[in-house]
Amino acid sequence: MSSVIASATRIVIKVGSSLVTAEGKGLDHEALARWAKEIAALKALGKEVVLVSSGAIAEGVQRLGWTKRPTTLHEKQAAAAVGQMGLVQGYESCFREHGLKTAQILLTHEDMKDRTRYLNARATLLTLLEHQVIPIINENDTVVTSEIKFGDNDTLGALVTNLIDGDALIILTDQQGLYSADPRKHPDAKFIHETEAGLPELEAMAGGAGSSVGTGGMYTKVIAAKRAARSGAHTVIASGREEKVLTRLADGEAIGTQLIARTSRLVARKQWLAAQLQVAGAVTLDDGAVRALMSGASLLPVGVTAIGGEFTRGDVVRCLKPDGTEVARGLINYSFEEAGRILRQPSNKIEEILGYLDEPELIHRDNLVLL
């Protein structure tokens, strides 16, 4: 059995509070340095890495001189705001030692639900990866309320994996991986080396957080693996205390629990797009654009002859052949008003016409499914 990480190129790594803080009291700077070193080694192997890191609240509590983790939402938010400074400062200086640039990204649930924000967040993250920057992501604790909260960074890690079409999600925690029951309470629990992500029995095995530092426990990790699998990504839950865990995983060593996604990344994305029932509009293509789409290209405004419906950026629209039959469906980059102004035009004219350029494609091929 070898690790799925060996063949993964785009990887989201989630480190829990217990791994970046000293027993929940302030940041463990040696730990941050170790993560930066390991991630630099993955980068050197040609992998793209996004880091989802907790630890803001724990660091904030320390900086504010509080003796325990607060219970009210506003105190937690205040602690997170203070602590996030330390978290990004710490990572920034550790990654700089390896010649790597970092970026701070704070997200909420709404950023993922709202299609326009979803596309913007996706484009920003992919651009950062293109420029070899390590995005460091946390929940935007300042603005969250219970309705828009991920609540735990395991869920955030999975949604980020979906967002950027990651090949794999690595969840690092304080246990070796998933056991048949919480090993803190059941010392005889059996270790699970490999299983299929999303199996209902896994949810029954996983309990809540075992420490006062972490939040979600194994349950949110198992659910995160199920979510990640929706976009075809495999998940590995492993111990962050294991020596050189990331580089060993990348070498193919099967450390931790592997939760395998059944459907491939591409098939999963196309299924998701095809299943979108709410279609906001349609664009009619010329014959050349239909041929381009069929051969796997993106849809450019130059190949569009008409539009219908009132859609906004990020909505799902139908792509119609000149005779009106549907050939494809995809997430559109421009609103119906904008699309109406740039249709039949070459992409290098978009900026001149609209005064700005979001993307040269009307629908990018990654966001397009042929029917």
Ligand X SMILES: N[C@@H](CCC(=O)OP(=O)(O)O)C(=O)O
Ligand Y SMILES: Nc1ncnc2c1ncn2[C@@H]1O[C@H](COP(=O)(O)OP(=O)(O)O)[C@@H](O)[C@H]1O
Q: For residues 17 and 161, which CB has a smaller minimum distance to ligand X in the complex?
A: 17
Distances (CA, A) of 49 to 163, 187, 359: 14, 34, 24
235 binds, among ligand Y, ligand X, none (CB under 5 to 8 A by kind): none
174 annotated to a ligand binding site:
yes
Q: Using CB under 6 A, which of the segments 65-73, 128-136, 170-178, 349-357 binds ligand Y?
A: 170-178
With 0-12 / 13-18 / 19 or more C-beta atoms within 10 angstroms meaning exposed / middle / buried, residue 354 is middle
Q: Is 357 exposed, middle or buried (0-12, 13-18, 19+ CB in 10 A)?
A: middle
103: part of which helix (H) or strand (E)? Answer: strand 102-107
Residue 259 lies near ligand Y (rule: CB under 6 A):
no
The answer to the question of residue 184 lying near ligand Y (CB under 6 A) is yes
- Which of 166, 183, 303, 314 is in the footprint of ligand Y by CB under 6 A? 183
**For ligand X, which is the closer residue by CB, 57 or 362?**
57
CB of 200 to ligand Y, least distance (A): 14
Of 173 and 298, which CB lies nearer to ligand Y in the complex structure?
173
Can you read off the two tokens belonging to residue 145?
């309320």
3-class SS at 329?
Answer: strand
Contact 363, 332 (CB under 8 A): yes
Contact with ligand Y (CB under 6 A) among 75, 174, 286, 366? 174
User: Is 155 one of the binding residues for ligand Y (CB under 6 A)?
Assistant: no
The identity of residue 287, as a single letter, is D
Cα 15 vs. chain centroid, distance in angstroms? 14
* The binder of ligand Y chosen from 70, 151, 207, 360 (CB under 6 A): 207
178 binds ligand Y (CB under 6 A): yes
Q: Is 247 annotated as a binding residue?
A: no
C-beta of 215 vs 298, nearer to ligand Y: 215
DSSP notation for 2-63: --GGGG-SEEEEEE-HHHHBSTTSSB-HHHHHHHHHHHHHHHHTT-EEEEEE--HHHHHHHH
Residue 80 interacts, among ligand Y, ligand X, none and using kind-specific CB cut-offs from 5 to 8 Å, with ligand X
The span from the CA of 358 to the CA of 351, in Å, is 9
Question: How many angstroms from the chain centroid is the CA of residue 332?
Answer: 20
Answer with the entry of ligand Y, ligand X, none that 205 interacts with (C-beta below 5 to 8 A by kind). Answer: ligand Y
- Tell me if 173 is assigned to a ligand binding site: yes
Binding residues, by number, are 14, 54, 141, 153, 173-174, 215-221
| Contact positions vs ligand Y (CB under 6 A) | 16-18, 173-175, 178-179, 181-184, 205-207, 209-211, 213-218
